[in-house]
Amino acid sequence: MTGDRTLSAYVHVPYCRVRCGYCDFNTYTATELRGAKQADFVDHVGAEIELARSELTAHSDTRQLSTVFFGGGTPTLLPVTDLVTTVSNLQSAFGFAEGAEVTVEANPDSVDAHYLRALADGGITRVSFGVQSAVPSVLAVLDRTHNPDRVPEVVQAAREAGLAVSVDLIYGSPGESLDDWRASLELVASLGVDHVSAYSLIVEDGTALERKIRRGELPEPDENLQAQMYELADASFEAMGLSWYELSNWSRSERTRSRHNLAYWRNQDWWGFGAGAHSHLGARRWWNVKHPAAYAQRVMAGESPAADGEEPTVDETYLEDVLLGTRLIEGFPISRLRPDARAEVAQLIADGLVNGKAALDGRIVLTLPGRLVADAVVRRLT
Amino acid sequence: MSPRAHKPLQPASTAPEQIRNFCIIAHIDHGKSTLADRMLQITGIVDDRSMRAQYLDRMDIERERGITIKSQAVRMPWEIDGKTYALNMIDTPGHVDFTYEVSRSLAACEGAILLVDAAQGIEAQTLANLYLAMENDLTIIPVLNKIDLPAADPEKYALELAELIGGKPEDVLRVSGKTGIGVPELLDLVVEKIPAPQGNANAPARAMIFDSVYDAYRGVITYVRVIDGKLNPRQRIQMMSTKAAHELIEIGVSSPEPVPSEGLGVGEVGYLITGVKDVRQSKVGDTVTDSVKPATQALEGYTDPKAMVFSGLYPIDGSDYPVLREALDKLKLSDASLNYEPETSVALGFGFRCGFLGLLHLEIITERLEREFGLDLIATAPSVPYEVTTEDRKTVTVTNPSEYPGGKINSVREPLVKASILAPKDYVGAIMELCQSRRGNLLGMDYFGTDRVEMKYEIPLGEIVFDFFDHLKSRTQGYASLDYEDAGDQEADLVKVDIMLQGETVDAFSAIVHREKAYAYGVLMTERLKKLIPRQQFEVPIQAAIGARIIARETISAIRKDVLAKCYGGDITRKRKLLEKQKEGKKRMKMVGRVEVPQEAFIAALQGDDEVKKK
């Protein structure tokens, strides 16, 4: 039933010291938790791990975890022992596959050499630093409180602890200039990391940032500038020896790619633990209740924390396959395109959005201009 | 209050001298319908309880807009000094678009009540209809309405009316349709002043059709005024213009509900039902006669209604096209002046090219289609009929810019109208400026009373069908009123301007304009479309051209970025739903060549908006 799909685990840590203005993820500051204590995190997630283990066992699913990812929120707000205990809970429930990748997202401000060493000792293999920008004024617009000067130090400490290191960047913030962005890219170059993710800022409805832009307090992100920034980033990363393997991800080699993210793009299976986490198992997707208090109540009562779910239809699955597959360097097999979409391929090549050579080899692989309009390409192929 | 008539006269046996046929000439909101309601009540033919406001205006649109589109005739009894009379009130449409219908209604009367709002004074349309009434030798009874209003200034406007039609200001009757004050006196005046109809009772029957309406249950109901002879139940009648013969299934009078009668005699007004389903079989202005002993001479004044304004009507949802066709087929049954034929547009899909009497007619039909048939419609910019002569001396009538001949044009003739604009004199400058910018030619100015002026212009119809009235209203704070009538045609230096997206002509935006305005139109449309059309994956030039010559150009730069960076924490569902939504939006796009244009952009551009309205 599971075919040759791998199984991953995502653990959502829904806490933040302050909420960033651009963020619409499921996170809560201490005052918003309404009695769901941060200190009980390990127990709550532990309860869901037990639920997951018995459900998978009931379906004779004996797969071990290939990857684990702690995201947030700010996972490193937790005492390091909480993360380590959760890793060990996951390991004893499912087992880890050979060379399993275990990543923790980290705020450069909330970790030090000691913390990073403890992570490595506790089975974590990889850390992803939320650097976002090297420019204080840009960080201020994003409500990020960390001091960019600390970044080289923590990256170095992580390396010394034996952790693989990735950095996350955000570009195209209101007011950010091309020179600001260049400064962030130079910082990344100086770090010599093996992996980088660069995301263009998306102004989401309902965020403080969106309100500020609506009120005219901040300029709207300029899409032309964001496109230029993407092109600049791609060129800079290439110069650093990192090549793109997913729209927003660059890596030094195949080995250093984020295997956890690849599991999403390749539509593998994963169980999402924690408040608001999304899961995908076989034909089914579901997501947990959002608020940590509601989540805690469910799992501690031995009930499933799922809020809702869906089994995508054939059409929906096709759309998902195309949108996920085309984001990757390996592309999407033309043989799996629908007949009317195949007729569109030649025009996409002519428009310079799809790599002609790869198409002759039977795959839809986006060119650089194509990556910038990937959603439009997907709409034309579905 | 005068006594109500105790013994109403029987139709078909009423002597002409006991009949009075009259109509009410009034501007849209000067209270004609309210006055008519009071008359129905005071004469007792509608009891006080079943009275509803504006009883005679049957269509919802009429009642809501407070205007009368379809006229109707009502027979009311009235008694003076022990003698009973039958008063036939013929309700006329009040707008310029229906001048022909008005003229036929007037021709059915011997007199007219000139009804003017005592707070506003006479308006241009009323003036136009008053001229028509005087040309038909109708006896005019001047009346000021709404004297109960605090803003009423009867002294001022009585003077104005007296100046206009001759006579003394004291002779101007003052009434309130709302309260009923003065209405019985008015009915007395109708009997006293308006002459009785005259005709030859022994001659072959001749009756003039002044209105025909379609009724879903009874078919076409034809309203007539008998001139000579008599019409009887079960008689076989003939329409003199078409020679078509029908049997009378029913004949009668409206009182105000239909009441069958033993027939209609000289001077009488009533309705005929033949079972015919299409109003085109019963044309306004036509003469009804006996089919066995027909009259030799038809009554004068019949003409076919001529469409003067053309527009493409398109359903916003393409799948509504069959509904639109059915709806037009139905409306045609009740509106002889509506004509249409199928048309396709690159930008708008399948629709109909429709001909209308004027702008209000267009507006009313569009509104009825939307309201009565639940359609969502877009109308292309109105156009007028041009006579285009090509170099090889062929002349074609062009009602749609897309029919404009290519190649060398020898001459173009455009319809002209004589426009009458009535406004307070402070606005003369603003009106002159507007009319000059629309190639208007001032024919003369007349002052009314102390502060109002009538300006007469000769102006191309094409210049006023677009947004002239809106501009006129906004430049005069709503005080100006407009009326126009056909004034022939003239040769003009006109060109067709095409608007192109990536070299493809967008038919809905082609326009026939004066050469001096071609550039301005080109710039306006290219700029507007640049704002409205979303960026594509490639650069899109928007050009305005006269033939092969480009006169204006804008460029929509290519979209550089159309991708969501992240699917956080594996929330694929959200991203898929977003894409599904975008795809749904794409389905509603119209393709012009390879350019995807949201239909809302076309609609907004046609409506003159610079932004697509948020849903």
Chain B hits for A248, Cβ within 8 Å: 565-566
Whole-angstrom distance, CA of residue A72 vs CA of residue A51: 22
Mean pLDDT of B63-82: 68
CB contact under 8 A, A372 and B576: no
Q: Does the bond joining B256 to the residue before it have cis omega, within 30 degrees of 0? A: yes
Closest in A224, A272, A375 to B563, CB measured: A375
Mean pLDDT of B1-18: 77
Chain B hits for A230, Cβ within 8 Å: 561
Element (H, E) at B110: none
Mean pLDDT of A188-198: 96
The C-alpha of B570 sits at a distance from chain A's nearest C-alpha, in angstroms, of 6
Whole-angstrom distance, CA of residue B88 vs CA of residue B261: 15
Helix (H, G, I), strand (E, B) or coil at B317: coil
More confident residue, B49 or B217: B217
Chain A hits for B565, Cβ within 8 Å: 199-200, 202, 247-248
Mean pLDDT of B482-496: 90
Structure tokens at B83: 């003698």
Structure tokens at B51: 């009275």
pLDDT at position B60 is 52
Mean pLDDT lowest among B392-396, B480-484, B486-490? B480-484
Domains, chain A: 7-265 (3.20.20.70), 314-381 (1.10.10)
Helix (H, G, I), strand (E, B) or coil at B52: coil
- Angle of helix A314-325 versus helix B572-587 axis, rounded to 10: 100
C-beta separation of A124 from A102 below 8 A: yes
- Mean per-residue pLDDT of chain A: 93
CB contact under 8 A, A319 and B576: yes
Mean pLDDT of B153-157: 92
pLDDT at position B44 is 87
- Residue A241 pLDDT grade (very low, low, confident, very high; cuts 50, 70, 90): very high
Mean pLDDT of A44-53: 96
C-beta separation of B453 from B445 below 8 A: yes
CB contact under 8 A, A376 and B559: yes
CB contact under 8 A, B537 and A223: no
Residue B369 pLDDT greater than 50, yes or no: yes
Q: What is the interface pTM, i.e. ipTM, of the complex?
A: 0.86
- Per the document, the length of chain B is 615
Chain B hits for A371, Cβ within 8 Å: 563
Q: Is B468 exposed, middle or buried (0-12, 13-18, 19+ CB in 10 A)?
A: buried
C-beta separation of A27 from A77 below 8 A: no
B576 touches A at CB < 8 Å:
yes
The C-alpha of A109 sits at a distance from chain B's nearest C-alpha, in angstroms, of 22
CB pairs under 8 A between A and B: 95
More confident residue, A65 or B364: A65
Residue B97 pLDDT greater than 70, yes or no: no
Nearest chain A residue to B583 by CA distance is A379
The C-alpha of A375 sits at a distance from chain B's nearest C-alpha, in angstroms, of 5
The C-alpha of B574 sits at a distance from chain A's nearest C-alpha, in angstroms, of 11
Chain B hits for A277, Cβ within 8 Å: 569
pLDDT at position A19 is 81
Element (H, E) at B314: strand B309-315
CB atoms within 10 A of CB B328: 19
More confident residue, B562 or A166: A166
Residue B204 DSSP class: P
Under 8 Å CB-to-CB from B364, ≥6 apart: which residues?
B61, B69
More confident residue, B591 or B528: B528
**pLDDT (tens digit per residue) in A287-317:** 999 999 999 999 999 999 999 999 999 999 9
Chain A hits for B580, Cβ within 8 Å: 316, 319
Instruction: Give me the amino acid identity at B254.
Output: S
Structure tokens at A129: 């630093």
Element (H, E) at B581: helix B572-587
CB contact under 8 A, A285 and B575: no
CB atoms within 10 A of CB B393: 7
- Residue B57 pLDDT grade (very low, low, confident, very high; cuts 50, 70, 90): low
Instruction: Give me the amino acid identity at B293.
Output: K
Mean pLDDT of B369-382: 89
Q: In terms of DSSP H, where are the helices of B224-320? A: none
More confident residue, A202 or A117: A117
Q: A-side interface with B, Cβ within 8 Å?
A: 10, 12, 25, 71, 199-200, 202, 223-224, 226-228, 230, 247-248, 264, 267, 270, 272, 277-280, 285, 287, 310, 312, 316, 319-320, 323-324, 351, 353, 371-376, 378-379, 382
Chain B window 513-542: which residues touch A at a Cβ cutoff of 8 Å?
Answer: 537-538
Under 8 Å CB-to-CB from A152, ≥6 apart: which residues?
A187, A190, A191
Whole-angstrom distance, CA of residue B192 vs CA of residue B343: 55
Closest in A202, A248, A285 to B572, CB measured: A285
The C-alpha of B607 sits at a distance from chain A's nearest C-alpha, in angstroms, of 27
CB contact under 8 A, B570 and A324: no
CB atoms within 10 A of CB A217: 10
Whole-angstrom distance, CA of residue B231 vs CA of residue B262: 9
Structure tokens at A46: 């532990």
Residue B615 pLDDT greater than 80, yes or no: no
B567 touches A at CB < 8 Å:
yes
% chain A with pLDDT above 90: 81
Residue B429 pLDDT greater than 90, yes or no: yes
Q: Which of B225, B235, B228 is nearest to B268 (CA)?
A: B225
**pLDDT (tens digit per residue) in B169-227:** 989 999 999 999 999 999 999 999 999 999 999 999 999 998 888 877 888 889 999 99
Nearest chain B residue to A248 by CA distance is B565
More confident residue, B95 or A367: A367
Closest in B537, B571, B576 to A373, CB measured: B537
CB contact under 8 A, B576 and A320: yes
- Residue B578 pLDDT grade (very low, low, confident, very high; cuts 50, 70, 90): confident
**pLDDT (tens digit per residue) in B242-254:** 899 999 999 999 8
Residue B2 pLDDT greater than 50, yes or no: no
Closest in B563, B570, B572 to A374, CB measured: B563
Element (H, E) at A181: helix A178-191
- What's the gap between Cα A113 and its chain centre? 24
Residue B68 pLDDT greater than 50, yes or no: no
Nearest chain B residue to A200 by CA distance is B565
Mean pLDDT of B564-593: 79
What counts of helices (H) and strands (E) characterise chain A? 15, 14
Instruction: Give me the amino acid identity at B353.
Output: R
Under 8 Å CB-to-CB from A101, ≥6 apart: which residues?
A66, A67, A68, A125, A126, A258, A259, A260
C-beta separation of A359 from A345 below 8 A: yes
**pLDDT (tens digit per residue) in A312-339:** 999 999 999 999 999 999 999 999 999 9
Please state the φ and ψ torsions of residue A42, each to the nearest 5 degrees.
Answer: -60, -40
B587 touches A at CB < 8 Å:
no
Q: Which of A335, A325, A330 is nearest to A378 (CA)?
A: A325
Residue A1 pLDDT greater than 80, yes or no: no
C-beta separation of B421 from B472 below 8 A: yes
Mean pLDDT of B443-448: 90
Mean pLDDT of A109-116: 94
Mean pLDDT lowest among A218-222, B69-73, B106-110, B321-325? B69-73
- Residue B71 pLDDT grade (very low, low, confident, very high; cuts 50, 70, 90): very low
pLDDT at position A193 is 96
Q: How far is CA B525 from CA B535, B544, B585, in A?
A: 17, 8, 24
Nearest chain B residue to A264 by CA distance is B570
CB contact under 8 A, B576 and A199: no
**pLDDT (tens digit per residue) in A117-154:** 999 999 999 999 999 999 999 999 998 888 889 999 99
Closest in B559, B565, B573 to A248, CB measured: B565
Q: Are strands B236-239 and B287-290 parallel, antiparallel or unpaired?
A: antiparallel
Mean pLDDT of B427-432: 95
Residue position matching structure tokens 């406004």: B423
B565 touches A at CB < 8 Å:
yes
Closest in A264, A351, A378 to B567, CB measured: A264
CB atoms within 10 A of CB B384: 22
Element (H, E) at A14: none
- Mean per-residue pLDDT of chain B: 86
CB contact under 8 A, A374 and B562: yes
Highest mean pLDDT among A27-36, B215-224, B247-256, B566-575: B247-256
CB contact under 8 A, A200 and B570: no
